[in-house]
Structure 1
Amino acid sequence: MNDKILTTLEFGQIKQRLAHYLTSAAGLVELKQLRPQSDLQTIRDMLAETTDGADILRLNQSMPLPELTDIQPQLKRLRIHANLNGTELAQISKVLTTAMAMHNFFDHLQEDEVELRRLYAIEAQLVTIPAVTKKLQQSIDPDGRVKDEASARLHHLREQIEATEGRIKDSLNSYTRGRNAKYLSEPIVTMRNDRYVIPVQARYRRKFGGVVHDQSASGQTYYLEPANIVEMNNELRQLQIEEKQEVRKVLANLSDLLRPYRHDIRENERVLGHLDLINAKACLAQTMDAELPTVNDKGIVNLRQARHPLIDQEKVVANDIRLGKDYRTIIITGPNTGGKTITLKTLGLLQLMGQSGLFIPAYDGSTISVFDNVFADIGDEQSLEQNLSTFSGHMENVKHILEKVTSHSLVLLDELGAGTDPKEGAALAMAILNELNRRQAEVVITTHYPELKVYGFEHHHTINASMEFDAQTLRPTYKLLLGIPGQSNGIAIAKRLGIKEQVIDDAKSLIKDDSQELNAMIGDLVEQRKQARERNEHLQKLLADNESKQADLDRQLNRFNENRDHLFDQARSKANHEVSVAKRKANQIIHHLRQMEVAQGKQIKENELIDAQGQLNALHQDSPLRHNSVLRRAKAKHQLKVGDAVKVKSYGQEGTLIAKRGKHKWEVQLGILKMEIDSDDLEKISAKELARSQKQKPMKPTRSRTIQTRHTSARLDLRGQRYAPAMANLSDFIDHALLNNLPSVTIIHGKGTGAIRKGTQQYLQSNPRVKSFEYASPNNGGDGATIVHFE
């Protein structure tokens, strides 16, 4: 890619924006080398890397990329066996530490199953040296200071230095705090020539003795090292010398430790710089709301709502730009300041960005092509140094373009043929277009020449275009209209600016009628195109809203289906569990009956069977779905009414509804019995089922007398109950006994006041199915219990 196009289209400003996000010197070096590529696979790889970086940002992750300085000079010094200082070692340590942090970062991404296209392979090129990294971290502070832990001797020396300094300060503080303080200029301890001293007034220096190391500018103060401190200062100085020697030894050892790994460290710096640039590309894409373009090598460009990246995104007008499929040449006509030049620059700059591995500010699904070169002649190319006119400058550029253009080149020409006689300029422009078409290059030009509008209609693979102009406000909208040539609005603009009406009329009279008709036709086309575009934008918005709503409904339906399946699974599991429990209990009851039969050696008594049947009935569980609103609505379709044939589920008997008793009660005729039954205990049956049931002859009950024992369950205990509930329970119990063909039952009413006993006997006397009743034997309750015999 030629350097001139990078300058013309301001690609350098895009690189400056990228530099804002870089943190490493190696990243800056790679950014300086960043240029558009012309190999399809290379471009796709670069875009895949940027996509990985953008995916990491979307996951709210951030690559651990601290500020890294250039370590190439340090590596060169290691190569010539020079020792590094603490700052240089700290810089290399930071690179090694970052390499380990980056390795851990991508390990976590892999553990989280984050799919990346290229970055895992790039990160794998980092060489981690844990032992060396740990040694550097233990020995060198980030600011380059050698730590106490760098060696045992250094640690010991620094402890001695600290202790010696403490003794010196304690001794000198005796001068600053005692009676000798009055001889000091200031009661402080300071340093001169790396030795601790005190500031003594000049006239009192002989009171202390010792060594004078300095004096003030006025000569009134001497910085004195008292005699009793000299030896300690000497000792301190000796320790400091030994410390410096030990530090040099530590730095030499660390330099020797790093020397064998300098190639790995250089590679780490390069890889980290590359990752830094990838992260910067992703950050820039996020900032300018850019999207990943698809790339082809067929010369097809389809930019959807493309925006110039260097114009304020709140003000820039987006345009659709298509080239290379149905036509290879676009001729944009229309008045100045309409946006023609910006359209050229937008197309060219977005191509350069995409071919450099950058996302482009356009809608998702945009397409760029791979061009071996992008050529442009944009703006005023007049050169005073070469004594060239504007026209000559343009022609010089066109000459170089025609020398190098190929069938895989993109050519952008602004105001082609301008700067000379209009007829000659138009003719020259058409000849240049013919040559570029023979070369099969992709071409976009801007012009004012009406002859080129005709050229656009007559030539194959060429299309006219214009920048939309609002006829009402006489202002440009900066919208690109493909397929419609631009009309001249010079006279209308002059009129809006206040030119006299007479001048305007004269100008109109000088224009040929066919030109006026052409302008009128173009104006009508522009207006129709504008209305169509606005209608399309409205429809697109409605479509997007509907798609969003549909997606939301689909999500809700999926959530509903998931919840429904989950509830069904729960209900099925619970039902299976209840069935399993019921079966187990039923088996226990049956097993108990068999044991009783074996133990008694005869048929089980009637009351024992009734007891077992009651236990089995107790295992029945009403389905919780009876309360389901959907099922309740379905049930409402089959409302019970007088005369319906029903089955009483708890008794297993069929009957007929006689009358409604309350909200949920029905009076049911069961044979000769009339009973009040809850509606939930009724199941509607057909009249045929009722007739078939009544035709079946009931089994004759066994007439054997049942001997009441304390084990029988064919008895009712009314003790402790009030009169009204006791009578209701008695009625239900007798009805249940009759339905189950029991020959006799026992009513335990107790003695007490005798009210319940009396009420029991009155009820038994009124019941026609009661054959007889009598008090129980003395050992079974006497007159506290009544034995009832049925017909």
Structure 2
Amino acid sequence: MQPSIPSALSEFAISALQWEQLRERLAARTMSPLGHQWLLALAPSSDSEWIYSQQARNAELRRLISAGMPFNFRGIFDPTDLLDQARIEGTALEALELRKLLVHAERVEAWRALVAEPPAGLEEALTATRAAAFALLEADLQPLLRAIQGKIEPDGSLADDASPELARIRRALERQHRAIEHSLHAALARLASDGSTQDSLITVRGDRFVIPVKSEYKRKVGGVVHGSSSSGQTVFVEPMETIELNNELSRLLDEEQEEIHRILVAMTRAVAAHSPTLALGALILGEADAHQGVARFAEDLNCVKPIVGQGADEDTLSVFEVLEARHPLLELRLRDQGHSITPLTLILPGGAEAKHQVIVSGPNTGGKTVTLKTTGLLAIMAQSGLPVPARSARLPIFDAVFADIGDAQSIENNLSTFSSHVTNVDRIARHAGPASLVLLDELGSATDPEEGAALAVAVAERFLELGCWSLITTHLTSLKVYAAKYDGVLNAAVGFDETTLSPTYELRLGVPGASSGLNIAARLGLDPSIVDNARSQLTTQTADIARFLDDLHAQLTAANSERATLAEQQRELERERERLAKEGRIEQQQRTRDLERKLEAMLKDFESRLTDMVKVIADKTSDKALAKRITRDAAVRLAGLRRETTGEFKTAVADAQEAAKPAAARPTEAERELAVGDAVMLQTMQREARIDRFIDDKMVEVVMGSMKMRVPRTDVRRLQRHEIETPSTKRRGGVTVSSAAHESPSDVSSEINVIGRKADEAESEVERYIEQAYLAGHRSVRIVHGVGMGILRRTLRDFLRNHPHVTSVTEPPYNEGGQGATIVELRQ
């Protein structure tokens, strides 16, 4: 199964840019043959919608992997052949084939369930995957699963309960086996006395149960002989009284095979009925596995999603920008060798200052060819919907990626290196257009330098006229001068440290590179007289250019060093600022903890005194119900006072911490954007709520009491601090109650189970629960007490009808608990 790739590129230099090697590396991260095949067939496209869809699916798989990835793609296979067989009328697939399809159906159903109802924490990670699996969301594989699940054993045999008829036949077979064994054991017992039997074992010959008899006694035993041993001393006889029993056994075996065939045919028909969903599921799971392989590759190389084609601004199409890009295959190889890669930054501006052509120069082994390959491969990756190894990337959509890289000598076609290069460049010039990317390595080499230079400039001018995006590497001075002369061309140089005689692989934009051949030769120890003679052969103009380039690169190196020093000093200042801020926070937290301990001690002392006073009052009254009510009301008010005081303390601490921030860091209430947790007023309902999450740019989800609802952003107004009800001023039903900021309806369950409790224990537990649910803002709760003899139900309902926080007590419908539960409506 291969990916459907619309508008594939006319050419994208597969071999020169190592696209096949990259696909193999990606495919190695998959878990199934389907995902492996999908990636090996992947190719770039010029269809922006397809590219964006691939990027979205890959991003979701990265989020799923980060969240734990609750799905295993191992063992997924292509069911096409089996489904084609299943659709043939009257066909019965083998049991093991059906079991294999059952496993596939279970995986498809598991993926559908994951996408349709993702576990907590994965909802946001599955937005576009849900769209990708839309067809599966409408499919129902449960009938197929019910038809096959649990009916096929791991060894391929059918379970006894695969059908009622098969269960009946299997029971009859078992009875028949016992009857035959009993008959044969009786025959053995009769023959054992005179030594007619060879041994006391029952054996099988040709699906018939027989007993071994000495050959000389075979005429004494009435029955049918079914063969003899290899020595001829033993014959195997089926006694006359067992023949009918064996005949019945054969009939039952035939019935069993007929029923097994009927069941397999029925299962095969069920598979055929669901074959479109199973085939689609294989396609979706194969692509999902491919994307999870890409996602793991992207996480390993710290890849990012590139902006491809028209982006947020109008100039994106005319901008080519990759920051700190790395060639993925080179990075993996260097990592295996214990080395790191030097990233590449290439920025080609658009608009009035557009530059679509870069002339890359510099010494050998400096990284010119790597620059070409990195640029081309990242362009192909981006248009294949893949993340790219870079800090960021913005790329046009190319209709083709042409490359002439490396030694193009062709012995088969009798072409020299130069001839092959010319042939390839001619073909590219005939097919390239404004939306093409052209990569040319060592243009104008392998021939006379003067003629090669003239030819190289002419070729570069042709691609500039065509409007192509082109990168050209060279050692030729004439091309460097050409780049400096034309506005649409940019010089660039790869770095080389002449002190250590090693390349830096850094790409510098805006300056030509020096080949430094004579300097490198001198430092490598070439005879100084030879080097001096070579220098004397240079024209004055060539020597001046070489000295100028050497001085220019020395100045750039010094400037980069100074810039790095300044950046390190800036980072040091930031670290010192963070250290001082952290010390201040630690000191503030210590003071807050001290105040919390003092507040807790005061509250405990007050609680102790109030409890003693209530106990004295309760002891003095003879009305036990009144005493119980006084104790309960005191406990409720005491809990409310504790929450109110704690809430006010935390609010005061938060205000103090906010006031301690620098004024510039504290946005005003009017300036600050809405955020999760903000207290807001719903304009149409004139009710206070709190933002729970943002759905999109237009909708927001809010919590109001025990309800969640989605409302337009235009209906939401942030409450200023002075408008927000504090825990001490919030009112419910005309009575002021405490509602600590950290407590919400989600903290108290809407149901309690007291099954198995004694009546007095259950009443006490329900009483505490009602108080908590009332303070948490629940409108109604459900109490599960079971049916039993009805004592616990009557006790709790009588108690609840007289509770001050309860407005009504009702019995739920039968399907929601009936007499075994009670619905309690609370005052608001």
TM-score (norm 2): 0.61
Deviation at 1:355, TM superposition (A): 1.3
Counterpart selection for 1:78 from 75, 86, 94: 86
Counterpart selection for 2:414 from 368, 387, 404: 387
Deviation at 1:134, TM superposition (A): 2.5
Counterpart selection for 1:227 from 238, 244, 249: 238
Counterpart selection for 2:484 from 457, 466, 469: 457
- Alignment match, 2:16: 8
Change (3 A) 1:585 1:518: same
Q: Does 1:306 align with 2:325?
A: yes
Deviation at 1:58, TM superposition (A): 1.2
More displaced stretch, 107-116 vs 456-465:
107-116
Cα distance in 2 between the residues matched to 1:14 and 1:190: 63
- Alignment match, 1:429: 456
SS at structure 2 position matched to 1:22: coil
- What RMSD in Å do the two structures reach over aligned CA positions? 4.4
Deviation at 1:415, TM superposition (A): 1.3
Deviation at 1:320, TM superposition (A): 2.6
Cα distance in 1 between the residues matched to 2:207 and 2:610: 98
Counterpart selection for 1:357 from 385, 401, 410: 385
Q: Is the 8 A contact 1:47 1:358 kept in 2?
A: yes
Cα distance in 1 between the residues matched to 2:322 and 2:187: 84
Q: Is the 8 A contact 1:200 1:221 kept in 2?
A: no
SS at structure 2 position matched to 1:112: coil
Change (3 A) 1:195 1:576: same
Q: In the TM superposition, what are the counterparts of 1:559-578 in structure 2 within 5 Å?
A: none
Larger Rg: 1
Deviation at 1:166, TM superposition (A): 6.9
Q: Does 1:118 align with 2:142?
A: no
Query: Residue 56 of structure 2 aligns to which amino acid in structure 1?
Result: A
Q: In the TM superposition, what are the counterparts of 1:216-365 in structure 2 within 5 Å?
A: 219-220=230-231, 225-228=236-239, 235-297=248-310, 298-311=317-330, 312-314=333-335, 315-325=339-349, 327-363=355-391, 365=392
Cα distance in 1 between the residues matched to 2:523 and 2:151: 78
Cα distance in 2 between the residues matched to 1:499 and 1:387: 37
Query: Residue 471 of structure 2 aligns to which amino acid in structure 1?
Result: V
Deviation at 1:156, TM superposition (A): 3.2
Deviation at 1:299, TM superposition (A): 3.6
Deviation at 1:185, TM superposition (A): 11
More displaced stretch, 567-576 vs 223-232:
567-576
Deviation at 1:347, TM superposition (A): 0.9
Cα distance in 2 between the residues matched to 1:555 and 1:123: 48
Q: Is the 8 A contact 1:467 1:480 kept in 2?
A: yes
- Alignment match, 2:28: 20
Deviation string 1:611-644 (CA, Å, 9 cap, x unpaired) is: xxxxxxxxxxxxx9xxx9xxxxxxxxxxxxxxxx
Cα distance in 2 between the residues matched to 1:559 and 1:173: 93
Deviation at 1:566, TM superposition (A): 10
Deviation string 1:77-116 (CA, Å, 9 cap, x unpaired) is: 3333233322332233223211221233235536436313
Q: Is the 8 A contact 1:64 1:102 kept in 2?
A: no
Cα distance in 2 between the residues matched to 1:172 and 1:545: 96
- Alignment match, 1:524: 551
Cα distance in 1 between the residues matched to 2:360 and 2:576: 40
Q: Does 1:506 align with 2:515?
A: no
Query: Residue 85 of structure 1 aligns to which amino acid in structure 2?
Result: E
Cα distance in 1 between the residues matched to 2:187 and 2:15: 73
SS at structure 2 position matched to 1:125: helix
SS at structure 1 position matched to 2:323: strand
SS at structure 2 position matched to 1:455: helix
Cα distance in 1 between the residues matched to 2:396 and 2:261: 59
Cα distance in 2 between the residues matched to 1:205 and 1:64: 64
Deviation string 1:575-625 (CA, Å, 9 cap, x unpaired) is: 899999999999xxxxxxxxxxxxxxxxxxxxxxxxxxxxxxxxxxxxx9x
Deviation at 1:443, TM superposition (A): 0.8
Change (3 A) 1:22 1:575: same
- Alignment match, 2:447: 420
SS at structure 2 position matched to 1:310: helix
- Alignment match, 2:58: 50
Q: Is the 8 A contact 2:366 2:494 kept in 1?
A: yes
Counterpart selection for 1:149 from 161, 164, 173: 161
Cα distance in 2 between the residues matched to 1:52 and 1:262: 28
Q: Is the 8 A contact 1:43 1:356 kept in 2?
A: yes
Q: Is the 8 A contact 1:90 1:143 kept in 2?
A: no
Cα distance in 1 between the residues matched to 2:63 and 2:437: 31
Q: Does 1:128 align with 2:140?
A: yes
Query: Residue 461 of structure 1 aligns to which amino acid in structure 2?
Result: G
- Alignment match, 1:399: 426
Query: Residue 252 of structure 2 aligns to which amino acid in structure 1?
Result: L
Query: Residue 36 of structure 1 aligns to which amino acid in structure 2?
Result: P
Deviation at 1:440, TM superposition (A): 1.5
Cα distance in 2 between the residues matched to 1:415 and 1:335: 12
Aligned residues: 583
Query: Residue 25 of structure 2 aligns to which amino acid in structure 1?
Result: R
Q: In the TM superposition, what are the counterparts of 1:373-772 in structure 2 within 5 Å?
A: 373-537=400-564, 540=567
**Identical-pair percentage:** 30
Deviation string 1:630-689 (CA, Å, 9 cap, x unpaired) is: xxxxxxxxxxxxxxxxxxxxxxxxxxxxxxxxxxxxxxxxxxxxxxxxxxxxxxxxxxxx
Cα distance in 2 between the residues matched to 1:183 and 1:262: 62
Change (3 A) 1:31 1:317: closer
- Alignment match, 1:731: none
Cα distance in 2 between the residues matched to 1:13 and 1:435: 32
More displaced stretch, 439-448 vs 517-526:
517-526
Cα distance in 2 between the residues matched to 1:479 and 1:85: 63
TM-score (norm 1): 0.64
Cα distance in 2 between the residues matched to 1:294 and 1:262: 39
Deviation at 1:348, TM superposition (A): 0.8
Counterpart selection for 1:102 from 96, 111, 120: 111
Deviation at 1:409, TM superposition (A): 1.6
Deviation at 1:282, TM superposition (A): 1.1
Deviation at 1:455, TM superposition (A): 1.2
Deviation at 1:353, TM superposition (A): 1.0
Counterpart selection for 1:89 from 98, 101, 123: 98
Q: Is the 8 A contact 1:9 1:348 kept in 2?
A: yes
Cα distance in 2 between the residues matched to 1:138 and 1:250: 13
SS at structure 1 position matched to 2:135: coil
- Alignment match, 2:737: none
Change (3 A) 1:6 1:191: farther
- Alignment match, 1:366: 393
Q: Is the 8 A contact 1:86 1:145 kept in 2?
A: yes
Cα distance in 1 between the residues matched to 2:579 and 2:106: 46
Cα distance in 2 between the residues matched to 1:540 and 1:581: 61
Deviation at 1:324, TM superposition (A): 2.8
Cα distance in 2 between the residues matched to 1:498 and 1:193: 92
Change (3 A) 1:19 1:210: farther
SS at structure 2 position matched to 1:433: helix
